[in-house]
Amino acid sequence: MPVFSEEDIERFAQGLKASSKELATEYLMRADEGGFTFRCTPCPFLSGKTCRNYGARPNDCRSYPHLHKENAMDRLMGVVANYSICPIVFNVYEGLKRELRPGRLARCRHGIQGGK
């Protein structure tokens, strides 16, 4: 679940044409790691295979799966666990499979790109 900063809450609420207070009261709770997160899973703004507020999504959603953060390898099991639930997880996972498929890394390491 994404963690919202105060800035994320403001942007997300604007995307919904609601106030930050309305958003927080209806959907958010304090997160253990600081900031706020959704009260329930899956995300209440997931509609079918799309985000109902994609243009205003929080930074945590924008940077998923957080490969730039520490302990990225420790979180990969969470990616697999959410693969069948969240379309964003599915798309990221499938993209990583395409990018990291056997042979592609070796070709990239040897300076050969654009191969099959």
DSSP letter at 2?
A: P
Kindly state whether residue 11 participates in binding ligand SF4, applying the rule CB under 6 A: no
CB 92 within 8 Å of CB 65: yes
Q: How far apart are CA 43 and CA 87, in angstroms?
A: 11
Which residues from 84-113 bind ligand SF4, rule CB under 6 A? Answer: 88
Nearer to ligand SF4, 44 or 101 (CB): 44
- C-alpha atoms less than 13 angstroms from C-alpha of 46 in its C-beta half-sphere: 15
Q: Could you say which of 9, 13, 23, 43 contacts ligand SF4 (CB under 6 A)? A: 43
Token pair belonging to 110: 């040897």
Which residues, 55 to 74, sit near ligand SF4 by CB under 6 A?
A: 57, 61
Q: How many residues does the chain have?
A: 116
Q: How far is the CB of 54 from ligand SF4 (least distance, A)?
A: 6
CA distance 75 to 63: 14
| Least Å from the CB of residue 32 to ligand SF4 | 17
Which residues would be at the binding site for ligand SF4 (CB under 6 A)?
2, 43, 45-46, 51, 53-54, 57, 61, 88
